[in-house]
Structure 1
Amino acid sequence: MLVASLRKESINLKLAKAIELYAPQSLRFDYIRMDDMPYYNGDLEGQRPESVQRFTDSIRAADGVCCVTPEYNRSIPALLKNAIDWGSKPSADNVWHNKVLAMTGASPGGIGTAVAQQHLRQILAILGCIVMPGEAYISFKTPDMIQPDGSIADESVREFITAFGARFTELIERMS
């Protein structure tokens, strides 16, 4: 699981916890850290920092990646873009190539994170990622819509998240 928000009370972290809670039991989530990597710099390729090696090893080992991202200025956060850049280099070792990825995000705005996801989909397509079809963005209408443990009282939102996890599981199984 890649959560592209650093806030402790992030609504996107709550969404990630909900996905984990309502996903099929066969799906196991590891939260992969991105905040300790330096900005991508080709000069570091010869001696990659340990944080970068840990990140790329984790992505490489995963059967699929679920990315939960906020939208910053109609795009993805720099944190996520930096992680994508590290994972794509060098080109021969691109960890995103043929990696199954589901994306979603939450925002208090009316269109959720639709534009950020469109931009993310464009970036990942260039890198050869297998992105789950469809859109999955959540308009976080009330602060308590998703509890810190991921539980959701609203049945329609809970059903949407459950279906998202089921589709992700199905795509991973189909592509394995």
Structure 2
Amino acid sequence: MRKLRIGVIVGSASQSSINRKLAEALVKLASEQADFDFIELSPLPIYNRDDDAAYPAVFQGFKDRVRAHDGILFVTPEHNRSVPALLKNALDAASRPYGSSAWSGIPAAIIGTAAGGPATSMAQQHLHNILSYLNMPTMGQPEGFIRWHDGLIDAEGNVGPASHDFLKSYMNTFMAWVERLRKA
């Protein structure tokens, strides 16, 4: 049986993003179980429904990349108690034109990190609502509200000992979720 193909979408374009660091560390934890592909959002222009009649090639290419995966791991920060505009734009663009959504049926998981106590809980809740509408079966448990702290990710990009077992279990559960629900 072939390895799973997992797309990783980070909701931040920042070069110093702690969510990108978390995503890279999560990929290391599950690299034997799946092939991972970081799908970048920053090249996408702002979606405008006026373009649906002549759907832009950049959006079609993005949709093709999304569809090439068995599952999608969303690793997102929280902006003003919701999902970042960059991520929302990508979700909207790849769901259009109506009836041709790239997201439909692809199993997903959501995780994120922030320095504050509630981490990215509100963004994740909003993202769950959006993914539900987009018909993406989204893993409900375990939830991944990860508080960023020194030692979460070490200098080599590995998950530190205090969080290793939880995040390894999170990724194992996600791999099983995708294996069970992936399209044939």
TM-score, with length taken from structure 2: 0.89
Please identify which structure carries the higher helix content.
Answer: 1
| Structure 1 position 140 matched with structure 2 position 139 | no
CA distance in 1: counterparts of 2:57 and 2:155, whole angstroms: 31
Q: Which residue of 2 aligns with 1:121?
A: 128
Gaps of 5+ in 1: none
Label 1:149 to 1:92 Cα distance change in 2 as closer, same or farther (>3 A): farther
Q: Is the 8 A contact 2:26 2:159 kept in 1?
A: no
Counterpart-to-counterpart distance in 2, 1:132 and 1:156: 23
Higher relative contact order (CA 8 A, sep 6+): 1
Partners of 1:152 and 1:26 in 2: how far apart? 17
1:141 CA displacement: 2.0
**166-175 vs 48-57, which moves further:** 48-57
Question: What residue identity is the alignment partner of 1:138?
Answer: I
Q: Any idea what SS the aligned residue of 2:34 has?
A: coil
Residue identity in the other structure for 1:159: D
Kindly report structure 1 stretches of 4+ aligned residues shifted beyond 4 Å: none
Deviations 1:64-105 (A, max 9, x none): 000000000000000000000011112311111111011100
Contact 1:39–1:82, Cα closer than 8 Å, also in 2: yes
Whole-angstrom distance in 1 between the partners of 2:100 and 2:155 = 36
* Structure 1 length-normalised TM: 0.93
Q: 1:168 aligns with which of 147, 171, 174?
A: 174
In the alignment, residue 123 of structure 1 is paired with which amino acid? Answer: I
2:49 is equivalent to residue 42 of structure 1: yes
Q: CA deviation at 1:52?
A: 1.2
Could you say if the C-alpha distance between residues 169 and 102 of structure 1 is closer, same or farther in structure 2, counting changes exceeding 3 Å?
Answer: same
Aligned residue number for residue 52 of structure 1:
59
Report the CA distance shift for 1:148/1:128 in structure 2 as closer, same or farther (over 3 A): farther
- Percent identity at matched positions? 37
Alignment of 1:103-122 (within 5 A): 103-122=110-129
